[in-house]
Structure formats: structure tokens, C-alpha cells
Amino acid sequence: MAEMSYRDAVAYGIAQEMRRDPRLVMLGEDIAAAGGVFKTTVGLLEQFGPDRIRDTPIAEQAILGAAMGAAMTGIPVIAEIMFSDFIAVCFDILANQMAKTRYMTGGQVTVPVVIRTHNGGGSRFGAQHSQSVENWCMMIPGLKVVAPSTPRDVVGLLAASVRDPDPVVFLEHKSLLATKGEVPEGEIVDELGVAKVVREGTDCTIAALALMVPRALQAAERLAEEGISAEVIDVRTLVPLDTQTILDSVAKTSRLFTVEENPRLCGWGAEVASIVSHEAFWDLDGPVVRITTPHIPLPAAETLEDMAIPSVDRIYKEIVEAMD
Amino acid sequence: MSTETFDPQLLDYANRPPRLPSPPNEENDRLDIPLDQRIRMYELQQELRQFEKRAYDLFMQNLVKGTSHLSLGMEAVATGFAMAMRPDDYTFATYRGHAHTLARGVPMGPVMAELLGRRSGLLGGKGGSMHLTSVEHGMMGSYAIIGAHLCIANGAAWSAQMRGSDQVTVAFFGDGTTNIGAFHEAVNFAAVWNLPIVFVCENNLYMEYTPIDLVTPVKNPAADRASAYGLERIVVDGNDADEVYVTAKRLIEQARSGGGPSMVEAVTYRHGGHSRADPGKYRPKEEVEAWLQRDPLTIYHQRLLRLGVPEIDLTNIAQDVARRVDEATEFAKSSPPPSPESLMTDVWADGGSSWRR
């Protein structure tokens, strides 16, 4: 067991998979010589050489296109898109090409690509470098979507994503990069589509993703002081979505809160709320409540950004209010 | 352009000066291509021509639904390149991909059945006219969003480079594609990575319904951009299969031997409109007439006669192709629609479409 930062866990997880599969390659802007602008790929060029770790031009369509074409012809690829906001400039390759080609060709083509990207707010970067774009990806049939919240899960879910034969968008949260956690020795491989109950409770269920998981856990601590026992679920992967773990928890607690960093409309929690209200209506003692960023572009100033993204305080207050 | 000074005649494309083709080059008779190969190239052009004419007829009978983009008049480009490719080389095409698919050896029956949306279609009816793909023939797909496939084709070329397989990728695109960002991203990327790929612009003078010269600041939309990426400026007669072939052979050999990417612009003309819905009335009559006279099949037919092939042999080839097109049509018509179960298959590599547990 070693303590490791979320940032270092990314390179550690990539290295684990590159050692396992000698075909695996990675490309992206500034990922090789510079080790990535977020330093999530430090040391990989030295370990695996310039043929497997490749710097590219600033050309996101070229990056994802090359990843797709290589994957279709037998080479699994990890592609880095520096900021998840930039997915917008290569959305055609992601949403129209990678996601649909298998279906359109009657199953002739397989696209084993992992698109790693740095997602989420809290860095005071403003509206074009801070977004939580998980919903952009979740709404496209043919894409899997993964968002780890701990260094250990970075390694385990990255391995699962690389080994998955379908295109996977792997969202690394910028505000978690400096956080630390225990990473067990040896190979770590998780399964996509498996949520984790990270705190057990009996009065309500809080489903959260990525940066919202530690915040939900802190809110649960404070709720406990108020005599509210909250169960916290780290959703971990949006596609496939582990609805069973959430439904089982709601059967026990009878209340559900989702905590989402994405802007309000069509957030992943809306889909969860829809499923729970349809399939577990009689388990519920009250409405499903979504705690989200308002439906606004993210502001740059720290005071404003902190008001926008769900904070421990806001999560706590909204739950207390709803449980009253 | 303010409305006061706007002259609607500027947009009356059909009354613009026609862009007329130069006369066919009889010198190309002497290109070093064996006669039996030339006869096969004639046969292939007949296959592409007659297949697409049949596809058009089947639209008119409402047996083909949706849309379709025909290459009638552009057969020499697909033929010249396919003949120069190795069986394991990769083709990437656009939504105008029937000819490129057939030219790689994909049988007519499943292609026709795909156009009709039938179970025995090449893609089981799930892709349709614009997405023809046959991986076993090296036909890596037809892509219907302009430009994207050039980026994807780079990936196949990169993969071949990494695997040391000596495979070459050939990516076809239209003149209109040269104005979208993905084109420039792709060519730049291929050049800096020295990828084994040939970019082939089929310049048919119109981007959909608009003359390409009205939306492009250079005369040759692909060739005149090549130098920006350190590539040679190459323009060929896209209606002369032999001229296309010798150029294709040179550029594919260059790519295969590590010489990197290239780009060629094949100037041609489509006999019909952009798609099923388009009668192509924006083109000057005189221009259409001149290009119809300069039909690649006519050019090739006359060349083979000059080279001593008896007319009856060519007639027999055309008749044999007609019979095979009939068979493909019957094959397609007799096939049932796709199974209802296939609706929910093959979203994922496990064969299914489940998104939850």
C-alpha cells in the first residue's frame, strides 16, 4: 500500500496498462516531453519511448481521428484531450464517428479507445476551461463514461477502460489532482458499471460523482451530527450506469439526493431520478432532490465559482431542508 | 452585400460561364499498362456505372429509401486507385462511396441489398448507402460528415506504420472537403508524422449545389493547398483511369516505401446532382453537355479500340456486367427486411446495447 496523489495515479495507471499490452499507445498535446500540462503523464515518455507516447499538434479532431483509425485496425489507443471543454471541437469524431461506427457497420468495427480528459471546475479558469461535460458524453449511444474520485479508482477504472473494447471517455477531475489516497500494491483492475457505497447510512442516499464524492462525504459527516444517517454512493461510471446499487440503497433509506457538478439541465442525476421514481416509487418517502450547479456558464472569480458548484455547506443545507 | 446592390444573377449559377474540360489525352494510350489489366479496368468501370444506374432506377421505383450520392461520371478515380492498391491496403471514402466499395472487390449483391435496407445488406441494413464498409476487403468505411474520415484514415496509416505492415491508406474526399478544418488538421498531421497515406480529392467542380470556385480562393482546391503541408502539387485527369492509375501507383509506392503522405487532385464531373433529391439544375447546360461527352467510359472504350481490342469483346463485357447487376438486384429484392432483434445489437463490442445494470 502506498500513498499517491490522484495526479500521479494517472501516470501510474497508464504505465500498468502499457506494460501489460505492448500494443497500447498514447497521443495528445504536450503529453510526452512535457509530461502533460497537468503533469498527469510525467515519466511515461522515458519509460515507453517516443513511438508509444506521442506529442501531437493542437488538432483535437486529428488526435481523436488518429486514435479511432488506429483502434479500428488493431492498435488500442489512449488519447488525451487536455481540457474536457475541448471535446466540443472534436465532438464529430467522438459523437458521430467513434460512437456509431460499430453499430452502423453491423458490428464489423471495434474501437478500443480511451479518451482521457481533465474535467471540472474549481481552478478559477472561467467558462471555457472548467466545465463538467460528463452529460455531453453520456447522451451519446455508443460511448462509455467514467469519472473516478480517488487515486485508487483512477488506477482501477483506467485499467478497466483500457481493457474495454469500446470507446470510453475517462474524466480526470482537475480539482482532485492534488488529493492523495492509498493505492494498493500490485495490479488493480476494476469493472465498469459498478458503483461503490462509500459510506453506509439508513436515512437517505446521496449519489455523487468525482469531486462531488468527497464533498458528499463531508456533508454526511455533518448530517450525522444532526442525527441524519446518510449513505453515500460514488457512481464512478455513468455508462454503464449501476442503477442496482442506487435502487438497493433507496430501498433501504427511502430518500435520494444526487450531487452533480454539471449545469442543471439534463444532468446525469435527472436520469437517475427518472429511473428511481419509475422503478422505486413506492420505496420513496419524499421527492428525489437534485443538488447541481445552476444552469449557467461557470464564472472565473473564486467567490462566484464557489457559489456555483455544490459545496459541502450547500449539500448539507439542501439535505437538511428536504429531510425536515 | 447589401440588399440594394445585390444582383440575383450572381447567384444564378446555371448562367455562369461554363467550365469546360480539356480534350482527352490520347498520349495516355502509351502508358505502360498491360492490355489485360486495361480490359479489367474497363470491366470495373462498367460495373460501377451499371450498378449505380440500377441504384438510380431503384430509387425511382421507391425501393431505395433515404438518400444516395452517385459517382456516375467519376468511375475512373475509384478504378485507377483500386487497381493500384494491394488487397490489404485501406480505403476510406465519403458518403459518395458506392464506387469505392465495389472497386475494392465487395460483391454487388450485399451492396445493393444494403441500399434497399435488407437483411442480407453489407451492414445488415443498419448503415445504408452513406456508410458502406467491408473490413475484409480493406474498405474501412464510408463517412458522412465531411472531413472526419481523413483524420480517421490517418489512424489506420499510423497503425500500419507501427505494425510495420507496409499497408497504405487511401482516403478519398470531395472538393468541398478542402474548406473544412478537419481536412487541414488531417493533412498537417499526416505530414508531420510521415504517415503512409494518399489523400485523393475527387474535384467534381461543385460542393453540393455551389460551384467550388465561388467558395475557394485558389483554382485547385486540394492541389493548391498541398504546398502548405510540404506536399507536391499534383493534378490529374480524373476521367482517365490510366492517368489516375499511374499516379496512384507512384504515390502508393512512395507511401509504402516510407516516403510519407501525398495528395492528388483528380478533376472530374458528376453526371447527376449531388444526391437523390438534386436534379443539378445549377450547372450550365453547355458545361454538363461537354462533360457528358468526356465520359470516362467513352474515353476508355475509345482507347481500347485504338489499342486493337475488338468492339465485340467490349460489348460482351458490358453485357456480362449487366447480367451480374440483374443478379445483384434480384438478390437484394428477394432478401427479407432486417430482423427486429438487430435493432438492439452491436452498439457495444459485446454485441448488445445495454447501458445499465
Instruction: Give the pLDDT confidence score for residue B277 in this predicted structure.
Output: 80
Return the pLDDT at B68.
Answer: 86
Residue B70's CB is within 10 A of a number of other CB atoms, namely: 25
- The beta strands (E) that lie in chain A are given as 2-5, 25-28, 53-55, 77-83, 113-119, 144-146, 168-173, 180-183, 196-199, 204-208, 230-234, 237-239, 256-263, 289-293
Q: Where residue B110 sits, what CATH number does that domain have? A: 3.40.50.970
Answer whether A174 touches B (CB < 8 Å).
no
Nearest to B123 among A69, A106, A165 (CB): A106
d(CA A237, CA A149) in angstroms, rounded, equals 11
The minimum CA-CA distance between B188 and chain A, rounded to whole Å, is 9
Question: Average pLDDT, stretch A136-159?
Answer: 98
Classify the complex by whether its ipTM is higher than 0.95, answering yes or no: yes
Residue from the list B121, B189, B357 with its beta carbon closest to the beta carbon of A244? B357
What DSSP state is assigned to residue A97? I
Question: Which residue among A51, A65, A194 places its CB closest to the CB of B186?
Answer: A65
Q: What is the CATH number of the domain that holds A254?
A: 3.40.50.920
Note whether A187 contacts B: Cβ–Cβ < 8 A: no
B30 domain-assigned: no
Q: Give the number of A-B residue pairs with CB atoms closer than 8 Å.
A: 165
**Do residues A24 and A151 both lie within one domain?**
yes
Residues 6+ apart with CB under 8 A from B63: B116, B333
A contact residues 288-317, partner B, Cβ 8 Å cutoff: none
CA distance A289 to A287: 6
Per residue, what are the HEC states of A273-323?
A: HHHHHHHCHHHCCCCCEEEEECCCCCCCCHHHHHHHCCCHHHHHHHHHHHH
Quote the cell numbers at residue A287: 421527492
A104 touches chain B (CB under 8 A): yes
A177 with A242, same domain: the answer is: no
Same-domain status, A132 and A207: no
Chain A residues with beta carbon closer than 8 angstroms to that of B154: 62, 65-66, 69
Residues of chain B contacting residue A248, judged by C-beta atoms under 8 Å apart:
none
Tell me the shortest Cα–Cα distance from B76 to chain A, in angstroms: 26
B23: left (phi over 0), alpha (psi -120 to 50) or beta: beta
Residues of chain B positioned with their CB less than 8 A from the CB of A51: 162
* A176/A277 same-domain check: no
**B5 domain-assigned:** no
Q: What is the pLDDT of residue B156?
A: 98
Residues of A in contact with B126 (CB under 8 A): 103-106
Alpha carbon dihedral B200, B201, B203, B204, in 10-degree steps, equals 70
In chain B, residues with a C-beta closer than 8 Å to the C-beta of A165 are 348-350
Query: What is the distance of C-alpha A307 from the center of its chain?
Result: 22
A130 three-state secondary structure: coil
Helix ranges (DSSP H) in chain B: 35-60, 75-84, 98-103, 108-115, 148-163, 181-192, 223-226, 241-256, 285-293, 296-306, 311-333
Are the Cβ atoms of B155 and A67 closer than 8 angstroms? yes
Interface check for A239 against chain B (CB to CB < 8 A): the answer is yes
Q: Identify the segments of chain B with pLDDT beneath 70.
A: 1-4
Q: Do A93 and B134 touch (CB under 8 A)?
A: no
The CA distances from residue B35 to B303, B314, B325, in Å, are 11, 13, 25
Domain span at B215: 35-332
Residue B60 C-alpha cell reads as 425511382
Question: Which of A90, A93, A104, A245 is the best substitution to test chain B (most B C-beta atoms within 10 A)?
Answer: A104
CATH number of the domain within which A34 lies? 3.40.50.970
Do both A110 and A218 map to the same domain? no
CA–CA gap between residue B333 and residue B79 (Å, rounded)? 27
Residue at B3 is within a domain: no
Is A51's Cβ below 8 Å from some Cβ in B? yes
Which residues of A belong to the active site? Answer: 129
Which residue of B140, B149, B189 is in closest CB contact with A59?
B189
Q: Are A75 and A108 in contact (CB under 8 A)?
A: no
Contacts of B153 in chain A (CB under 8 A): 65, 69
- The CA distance from A85 to the nearest CA of chain B, in Å, is 18
Chain A residue with Cα closest to B162: A51
Please check whether residues A162 and A257 belong to one and the same domain.
no
Taking CA–CA distances from A55, the nearest residue in chain B reads B193
Residues A88, A36, single domain; the answer is yes
Domains: count for chain A = 2
User: Does some domain include residue A189?
Assistant: no
Is the CB of B346 less than 8 angstroms away from the CB of A57? Answer: no
User: Is the pLDDT confidence value at A17 over 60?
Assistant: yes
- Put simply, the answer to whether A69 touches B154 (Cβ < 8 Å) is yes
Among residues 10-29 of chain A, which lie with CB inside 8 Å of chain B?
25
Picking from A123, A155, A183, the residue at the C-terminal end of a domain is A183
Look at residue A191 and tell me if it is in a domain: no
Contacts of B131 in chain A (CB under 8 A): 104-105
Is A166 touching B (CB cutoff 8 A)?
yes
Chain A residue with minimal CA distance to B188? A57
Do residues A138 and A30 share a domain? yes
Q: Do A75 and A162 have their domain in common?
A: yes
Residue B138 within any structural domain of the chain:
yes
Based on the domain organization, do A272 and A311 belong to the same domain?
yes
Does residue A92 form part of some domain? yes
Contacts of B148 in chain A (CB under 8 A): 61, 65, 92-93, 96-97
* Boundary-marking domain end, from A114, A149, A183: A183
- In DSSP terms, A78 is beta-bridged to A26, A114
- CA nearest to B205, candidates B277, B270, B144, B147: B270
Q: Which of the residues A105, A162, A242 would you substitute to probe the B interface, choosing the one with the greatest number of B C-beta atoms within 10 Å? A: A105
Kindly state the cell numbers that stand for B6: 445585390
The contacts of residue A22 (CB under 8 Å, 6+ apart) are none
Task: With respect to residue B117, please indicate whether it lies within any of the assigned structural domains.
Answer: yes
Q: Please tell me the total count of domains within chain B.
A: 1
**Do A167 and A312 reside in the same domain of the chain?**
no
Mutation target vs A (from B152, B168, B195, B346; most A CBs, 10 A cutoff): B152
User: Which of A127-136, A202-211, A281-290, B6-15 is predicted with the least confidence, judged by mean pLDDT?
Assistant: B6-15
Burial of B20 (0-12, 13-18, 19+ CB in 10 A): middle
Interface test with B, best of A48, A53, A72, A102 (most B CBs within 10 A): A72
Nearest CB among B147, B149, B159 relative to A70 is that of B159
- Would you say residue A120 has pLDDT above 90? yes
| Best A68, A73, A242, A274 residue to mutate vs chain B (most B CBs within 10 Å) | A73
In a domain, A188, yes or no: no
- Model-level pTM? 0.97
The set of cell numbers assigned to A2 is 502506498
Domain presence at residue A97 = yes
Contact A66 B351 (CB under 8 A): no
Of B47, B48, B67, nearest to B59 by C-alpha is B67
Residue corresponding to grid cell 478519398: B172
A239–B355 C-beta distance less than 8 A:
yes
Contact A70 B162 (CB under 8 A): yes
pLDDT value at residue B3: 63
Give residue A250's domain range.
Answer: 196-323
B173: helix, strand or coil = strand
Per residue in A245-276, pLDDT (tens digit) is 999 999 999 999 999 999 999 999 999 999 99
The answer to whether residues A176 and A201 belong to one domain is no
